[in-house]
Chain A
Amino acid sequence: MRCDICGSENSYIRDCKYTISIKNKEVTIICQKRFCNDCNNEIIDEKLEKETLKKAEKKYTELYGINKNKVLELRKSYNLSQELFSKIIGCAKKTLVSYEKGTSTPNDNYANLFNILMYKPKIILDLIEANKDMYTKKEYDTIMKKIRFEKKEEPVKKTETASAAKAKNTNARIKVRVQKPEVRVNNFEEVEFGLTYAEALNESNRCLQCKNPRCMKGCPVSIRIPEFIACIKQGNIKKAYEIISESSNLPAICGRVCPQEKQCESMCVQGLKGEAIAIGALERYVADYAIQNHLKIGNAREKNGKTVAIVGSGPAGLTCAGDLAKAGFDVTIYEVLHKAGGVLTYGIPEFRLPKLIVESQVESLKELGVKIVTDTPIGNAISLADLRKRFDYVFISSGAGLPKFMGIKGESANEVFSANEILTRINLMKSYQPGSKTPIKKARKAFVIGGGNVAMDAVRSLKRLGIDAHLMYRRSMEELPARKVEVEHALEEGVKFDLLQTPVEILTNENNSVIGINVVNMKLGEVGEDGRRSVTENPKSLHMVKCDMIVMALGTSPNHEALKNSQIVLTDRGLIQVEGTKTSLKNVYAGGDAVTGSATVILAMEAGKNAAKEIMAHAKVKNL
């Protein structure tokens, strides 16, 4: 077979992980593909393509399809006669089709329905209630008797009236389905599943549609949350996506990695007495729907002739690029690595944020006309001064890449890594995959030092590599800065938490290999000026723990390689000094971790958004 790029006749076949969209559902399979031996271009091999498609369809049927056995199993679980069961399905299907207003194919409704019946018997009751007139009284009574029987586990409290109990029940927050811990600890696939249509619908119905929505105040990019949830209620997911994408260029990412419990969900009125709406899960549902249906994140306006260079393709840079491109700017993003996305690509692991999602969000920006130049270190390949000459505006979002170390004895040992290195090897270089070309160190027992989200990512990645992974943090469980759900997931996966401890020395053998650490226990004190409880070492508690790998996840600070030889003003802490997002240099803006030190994805996005606003204001281009 001939390569159509270089014309070479040599080709080879290798196994690829490949995601195909079938009937709006993504199916990931391992399939064989043919590649050019010389330029590694993929060559379309029709025979292999056919096989791939067959495989994918098979997987689809496995995952979403409804076969006789499944139906039989379900019917048995409800103990209903076949006749009655098909009638329920028939009626429910009709209802769902009318809900969906033709936004997806009937077949999907069927799959959705099946999911409902599997996981949410309560909804069946609602559906049957809604179609009451279609059943005879005898049928209706039989169904109610049988299904009520299923619900025996939740006895109604005597003090509550039946209607109050019902209201309480419908007000329970959706529990996002996850991969079972014992399964996911052996793979790198996403932990949380997306909501089904019915789940999203049910959850959106809990939203009170407050006139003065507090949730929006909790969102750094002010997504119009009640409005998009209202659209889900109406079954208009496309409209919901349009509303979200007006505020956020990367919704599929935010829905997955934002600390919602500290932001929008913390403000939700429902959360005051009961449980907040699962805003993050709903956002993800809408964004994933958009990716599956290839919806655009908006249209770019006519070019306004102004050019912008963006340094770094992380969340701040991508957000700024999206907003400016929509407003008609000619945007070029420079990235030093070979793939765009910054921390989204090299830092956050596959099981929390699949790289296919990042790639599709980057692609959607490219569709807006954003140019992305990889492999180019600003500061070395092009100086900041040159960028300023070539472009009207520059936005610096170079992040905080420089890993911190503790400065304790033995830190130069061979198996002491920064969390950045471990995560880069795993996420960017894919060293967790068998046959990967970049190695990752093997170990039996590893300690990850730190308690933030990066520490969680590192320790959970190591656990998945089959290492006895421990997290060592100097404060207690309550003070862990990581997202709560990540801590819960880590615990479920069997990560061991060694709290109120800190290493004071790393012990090595004659080959400079780690053999253990000396650890002291810590004592919590009063809350200090920074709002965190102080800690003191207890020197008497010094003890040795054996291990053969240490990972430092102590935070990062900006490295200003991009600013080499520039006169830009930095603060005492070595961060770029800004007013709003303006730096000391004319028409140069900055935001994200390069300005704040290591923080969260959403804060970086907020900074990117603000910079875009300021650039538009300066260029006298109207905001959207």
Chain B
Amino acid sequence: MYKIIYNKKLSSVAYEMCVEAPHVIEKCIPGQFAIVMAQEDSERIPLTIYDYDKEKGLLYLIYQVIGASTLELTYAKNYLYSVSGPLGNANEICQNPNSFKGKRIVYVAGGVGIAPVYPQVKYLKEKGFDVDVVYGARTNEMLIIRNKLQEVARKVFYVTDDGSYGTKGFVTEVLKNRIKNYDIVVAIGPVIMMKNISELTKEAGVKTIVSMNPLMVDGSGMCGACRCEVDGKSKFACTDGPEFDGHKVNFDLAMKRMNIYKEEEKEKLQEMEKRLQSQNK
């Protein structure tokens, strides 16, 4: 049992949770993730470590409600049954900042993709890097943690689909105009966004790192549910990733593999909604 400090709504789709999990954050480096379970019979949900307080042993997570299990997570109030981690590999740049000295780096975040981006930008700031962030979402209210982000990034370019804040359009368009200013792009967000960014940067010849978020069960390299095709080879996102070279990832396959349990998940969501309703009565 891990104590929840708070579990609050950030926008119409995103939630932030703070939980006591000193073992997870003691050694963690941005880019790694944790797996949480609300209750003993819950699904294991992989979530990026979005922020941490090493002194107090606090782990911060941001999650988006997309199905039964994330819906259940929004109802967690006092304790989480399991928080396991850190899992996966750290971001390449954060792992070895010295070998990237002098490189001009830009982060591209889409939606809750800002959750893995923020800790990396913060970490690099501490290591003396000044990085830019292109941050897109559907509308104004979905652009979360803006204040925190602005404290650590050199410049943030906001983009919304409907133009309610920042530039109207997509992150790809904004990056396209500025791509000449950068040596490395780190793109994290929906698979389709990472695909478009990677196509753009491949043309421009700019190194690109993407973070894959496939289906996962154990997160320790045991089940193979998170298989991604990278450079024609099968890789496990949990132990080989989650970050890969964007120019080598087969995004189309990744998108199709996201749908494996589509029907089953619909059912589970209905079951969960019923269960939560009856609990609240």
Contacts and interface: CB of A to CB of B under 8 A. Distances in A.
Interface of A: 5-6, 8, 10, 12, 37-40, 336-338, 346, 373-377, 380-383, 401-403, 405, 411-412, 414-415, 417-418, 420-421, 424-425, 428-430, 435-442, 511-512, 559, 561
B268 A381 contact: no
A12 B279 contact: yes
Contact of A418 (B28, B224, B261): B224
Contact of B78 (A6, A376, A401): A6
A376 B37 CA distance: 14
A512 B257 contact: yes
A336 B84 CA distance: 7
Nearest to B86: A380
Given A10-B279, A402-B221, A437 B42 contact: yes
A380 B27 contact: yes
The listed residue with most B CB atoms (<10 A of its CB), out of A10, A376, A412, is A412
Contacts of B40: 40
Contacts of A418: 223-224
A8 B79 CA distance: 12
Contacts of A12: 278-279
Nearest to A407: B234
B268 A421 contact: no
Contact of B223 (A373, A376, A424): A424
A437 B260 contact: no
Contacts of A429: 43-44, 217
B78 A561 contact: no
B79 A420 contact: no
Interface string B244-281: 00000000010011011101110110011001001100
A412 B257 contact: yes
Which 8 A-B pairs have CB atoms at the shortest separation, nearest pair first? Answer: A439-B264, A421-B223, A375-B84, A512-B256, A401-B222, A338-B82, A418-B224, A6-B78
A57 B32 CA distance: 51
6 contacts: A6-B79, A381-B85, A381-B86, A414-B260, A512-B256, A561-B221
A374 B24 CA distance: 11
A336 B88 CA distance: 12
A435 B221 contact: no
B130 interface: no
A527 to B, nearest CB: 32
B54 to A, nearest CB: 13
B221 A338 contact: no
B8 interface: no
Contacts of A561: 220-221, 239
Contacts of B265: 439
- Max chain A C-beta neighbours (<10 A), residue from B27, B39, B44, B221: B221
A337 B217 CA distance: 10
B204 interface: no
Contacts of B37: 338
B234 A411 contact: yes
Nearest to B260: A414
Contact of B239 (A39, A40, A376, A559): A559
Contacts, number: 149
B218 interface: yes
B261 A441 contact: yes
Contact of B83 (A375, A403, A438): A375
B188 interface: no
B68 interface: yes
A40 B275 CA distance: 14
B77 interface: yes
Contacts of B44: 338, 429, 438
A313 to B, nearest CB: 13
Interface of B: 1, 23-24, 26-28, 32, 37-44, 68-69, 72, 76-79, 81-88, 217-218, 220-225, 227, 229, 234, 239, 253, 256-257, 259-261, 263-265, 267-268, 271-272, 275, 278-279
Contacts of B26: 381-382
Given A412-B253, A415-B260, 13 more contacts: A5-B78, A40-B79, A336-B220, A373-B23, A375-B83, A375-B85, A377-B220, A417-B224, A417-B225, A424-B223, A437-B72, A439-B261, A512-B256
A442 B268 CA distance: 13
B161 to A, nearest CB: 27
A417 B85 CA distance: 24
Contacts of A559: 220-222, 239
Given A12-B278, A512-B257, A374 B82 contact: yes
Contacts of B87: 377, 380
Contacts of A403: 222-224
A424 B222 contact: yes
A272 to B, nearest CB: 42
A40 B39 contact: yes
B220 A401 contact: yes
B222 A8 contact: no
Contacts of A430: 41
Contacts of B267: 439
Contacts of A39: 1, 77-79
Contacts of A38: 76-79
A414 B259 contact: yes
A40 B38 CA distance: 9
Contact of A441 (B76, B234, B260): B260
- Most chain A beta-carbon neighbours within 10 Å: one of B44, B69, B81: B44
Nearest to A439: B264
Contacts of B42: 437
B78 A337 contact: no
A40 B220 contact: no
**B68, B217, B225, B267 pick with most chain A CB within 10 angstroms:** B217
B81 A437 contact: no
Contact of B256 (A5, A37, A338, A511): A511
Contact of B234 (A10, A412, A440): A412
A341 B264 CA distance: 28
A188 B103 CA distance: 57
A247 B68 CA distance: 46
Contacts of B220: 336-337, 377, 401, 559, 561
A377 B264 contact: no
A414 B253 CA distance: 9
A425 B224 CA distance: 12
Contacts of B279: 10, 12, 37
A377 B222 contact: no
B62 to A, nearest CB: 20
Given A337-B220, A420-B223, A414 B257 contact: yes
B256 A421 contact: no
A414 B256 contact: yes
Contacts of A336: 84, 218, 220
Nearest to B68: A437
B78 A381 contact: no
A558 to B, nearest CB: 10
Contact of A405 (B69, B78, B88, B234): B234
A448 to B, nearest CB: 15
Contacts of A512: 253, 256-257
Contacts of B28: 380
Given A337-B84, A429-B217, A436-B41, A442 B263 contact: yes
A425 B222 CA distance: 12
A431 to B, nearest CB: 9
A244 B94 CA distance: 53
Contacts of A405: 224, 234
A417 B82 CA distance: 25
A412 B85 contact: no
A429 B223 CA distance: 13
